Amino acid sequence: MLHTINKSPYTKNSLDTCLRMAKEGSAILLIEDGVYAALTGSEITSTVETAMKKHTFYALSADLEARGIQDRVIDGIKVVDYAGFVDLAAENSGVQSWL
């Protein structure tokens, strides 16, 4: 299943709840303000790096670039464009849009 997160982990608990409920091996795509979870060297980084052992993380390039953080992304998070987002939605068995 593909999980999308569109909230900053600093203001909302969407990422935490997603990590509680996502099955091991899920794909997690950070979009909109959710891309702030991809920041390296932050207090969230270790949470995300631990979660990356169970899940594959992706971040939407357009939203990273819009926020000027495209060069500060945790190693191992795959950066995808909108076409890549569509592929992820199609390849996975379903989409859970955490709001």
Q: Which positions touch other proteins (CB under 8 A)? A: 1, 4, 6, 13, 17, 20-23, 31-33, 60, 62-63, 81-83, 85-87, 89-90, 93-99
Nearest-approach distance from CB 90 to other proteins, in angstroms = 5
Nearest-approach distance from CB 75 to other proteins, in angstroms = 25
Nearer to other proteins, 21 or 50 (CB): 21
How far is Cα 84 from Cα 28, in angstroms, rounded to an integer?
13
- Could you count the other beta carbons within 10 Å of the beta carbon of residue 93? 7
| Strand-pair category, 78-80 with 56-60 | parallel
